[in-house]
Amino acid sequence: MKLKFALLALLASTIFAATTFAQADDPINDNEDYASFKSWAIHTQEPDPLPNMFKFCIQSYDKMIASGISPTRRVPEQVIPATYGFPRIEWKGTVQEIKEKWCEAGLKKTTADLAALHAPYKAALKADKLDLVVDETHGGITSYAMPGGKYTDDPKLLAAALVWFLDIGPPSNESEYCVNGAKRHSVRRYSFNAQQKLLGTTQKEFCGDPPASAYR
């Protein structure tokens, strides 16, 4: 995740640098709402954009239009070269065309893809189990270990088990390693009732790989 944010920062600096050479005298470049729309629109072209990026793109477009920029306003054309896994981007057309092609079409596709991904989980899981497995904000699926320590994202196995486990590692504000140099692990145990409601959690810490007894 830190690497992704670093790459986003690098991309943002690349966008800024490219803008200075692409019709920099166009007054639209000084409009903060346009700059926000442009930033979110370009983020939607990443290899694995987050679902909210498309929503933010549309929201920033609406704010930009409300500020007085016409939907038919053409953007200052520029090419942002491919870098660090990000594709080559051609920034051109009207703001409305970009919004429809990149933001709205992307949101529609991503929504359909996530619906297909989440469907088996929403069919098998409910209540707290569903909330723990499906990340509605980012679209991801979290795997959990069954008794014995084997991780799975199989919705049927997750639905059947009354106990799950998850190695959450050390607290984010503490060292990753024990004093003996072994990596710290924290295994959280989740207990559920038959209605898939969470009854409670317990947690144990280990120096080095958790033993089999941690998954009982």
CA atoms within 13 A on the CB side of 61: 24
| Burial classification of residue 209, based on how many CB atoms lie within 10 Å of its CB (0-12 exposed, 13-18 middle, 19 or more buried) | exposed
Question: What CA–CA distance (Å, rounded) separates 28 from 120?
Answer: 46
Q: Give long-range contacts, CB 8 A cutoff, 24+ apart: 85-92.
A: 85/7, 85/47, 86/7, 86/11, 86/45, 86/46, 86/47, 87/45, 87/47, 89/42, 89/45, 91/22, 91/38, 91/42
Element spanning 174, H or E: none
Q: What is the pLDDT of residue 140?
A: 92
Q: Is the pLDDT of residue 48 over 90?
A: no
Distance (Å, rounded) from C-alpha 132 to C-alpha 125? 10
Q: Give the helix/strand (H/E) hosting 38.
A: helix 32-43
The percent of residues in the chain predicted with pLDDT above 90, rounded, is 74
Q: Convert the pLDDT of each residue in 72-84 to its tens digit.
A: 999 999 999 988 7
- What does the pLDDT look like over 93-151, one tens digit per residue? 999 999 999 999 999 999 999 999 999 999 999 999 999 999 988 889 999 999 999 99
How confident is the model at residue 3, as a pLDDT?
47
Written as one string, the DSSP assignment of 84-95 is: TTBPPEEE-SBH
Please check whether residue 66 is in contact with residue 36, taking contact to mean a CB–CB distance below 8 angstroms.
no
